[in-house]
Amino acid sequence: MIRKTALLVLVFCLILILLGAALAQADGGLAVLGSSVATDFPTRLDFNLSAASDVSITDIRLHYIVDQRGYTQVTSEVYIDFTPAATVAEGWSWDMRKTGGLPPGSRIRYWWTVVDASADKIETNPVQLQFNDDRHAWQSLTEGMLTVYWYEGDEDFARKIMTTAQDVLARLAESTGAKPEDPVKLYIYDDAQALRGAMIFPQEWTGGVAFTRFGTIAIGIAPGKLDWGRRAIAHELTHLVVHQMVFNPYNELPAWLDEGLAMYAEGTLPPTFADLLVEAEDDGSLISVRSLSSPFSAYAEQSTLAYAQSYSLVEFLIHNYGQSHMLELLRTFRKGSGYDQALGRVYDFDMDGLDRLWQGYVFPD
């Protein structure tokens, strides 16, 4: 079944967008005759160009920019390896299995430069392309900053997703003051396996991903699994909005704050997590806030405890100091502040102080 789908995909996706003859012409005989791109989501993009001149064409380069949040716009340049000739038809394949993938709906702007032996040079007009997951028939629904894309289930299902996502944004604004700064795209695959099929090297457990620099979330939710879906949407949407808000070139958010806010947005802490917290307190194995600032352990139990503590730390900060302080903390991190400095500035304690106060709050004597 999967293989059959993959074949269909190839057939559909290799439809070329031809831009017609004589795309660009220099004063001499140099002319670009055609330029096209074929997409095969999620693994490759094939760029093709044909050009002719009355002398040999000696240099062809492809230039492209991926539309994402960044500190500086990065233009990639690809030198095409070819034998000089008066007429050329060349191409380049972007193999994402080598470079890492892009989320569905990513926008890429590209253009070519061609030079011939008389030093005539052509630069084609930039073309905008969207790297869509054409294997599914997507429908979309937009409300404010959010667009939901889905292909399985009826419009009622999509509306429920939209309502869930809008509720998450409202609660996030209420508890932390964080709001989306750029439009957000929410791609709903029909299960976790379909989602993993849209990614290059997915993690085994991936049920949802926030591509924060692209303003894109992808989640696998079957129309009958909305309850699980609600938590996943809250989690990933919070990561996305918070990352948009603190985006800076100097420092990342401490992991406990990033994951804690996402867990807090999901709702109350599931009992399995809460039980782990109590056990860890009992046997003195709580993780320090300082350790929780780095990426979490890969070991399942340690990682569950790390998430539980992160939730609890965020709950402690919001419950005791309110929205205005959390908003101030996020704004301080946006400036690239260090972890102790940011806490000190907003709450008047450092990571060790947070540890002590939090333990006194969660486990009073």
Residues, the chain: 365
Write down the least CB distance from residue 289 to Zn ion, Å: 18
Beta strands in 288-336 (DSSP E): none
DSSP for residue 299: S
Exposure string for 169-183, b = 16+ CB within 10 A, e = fewer: beebeebbbbebeee
Nearer to Zn ion by Cβ, of 199 and 262: the residue is: 262
DSSP for residue 283: T
Write down the least CB distance from residue 317 to Zn ion, Å: 18
Binding status of residue 158 toward Zn ion by CB under 5 A = no
Tokens of 274: 């809460």
Nearer to Zn ion by Cβ, of 153 and 229: the residue is: 229
Nearer to Zn ion by Cβ, of 58 and 206: the residue is: 206
Identify any residues that bridge with 233 across adjacent strands, giving them in sequence order: none
Binding status of residue 237 toward Zn ion by CB under 5 A = no
Query: Residue 62 belongs to what H/E stretch?
Result: strand 44-66
Residues 6+ apart with CB under 8 A from 271: none
- Nearest 5°: the CA angle 212, 13, 102 is 15
Using the contact rule CB under 5 A, the part of the chain among 42-50, 101-109, 182-190, 256-264 near Zn ion is 256-264
Tokens of 39: 């997409």
Amino acid 192 reads A
Write down the least CB distance from residue 340 to Zn ion, Å: 23
Helices (H), 267-299: 271-282, 289-292
Write down the least CB distance from residue 285 to Zn ion, Å: 22
x/- binding map, residues 100-139, to Zn ion, per CB under 5 A?
Answer: ----------------------------------------
Write down the least CB distance from residue 350 to Zn ion, Å: 24
Write down the least CB distance from residue 362 to Zn ion, Å: 21
Binding status of residue 217 toward Zn ion by CB under 5 A = no
Nearer to Zn ion by Cβ, of 144 and 295: the residue is: 295
* 30, 262, 265, 308: residue in contact with Zn ion (rule CB under 5 A): 262
* Residue ranges in contact with Zn ion by CB under 5 A: 259, 262
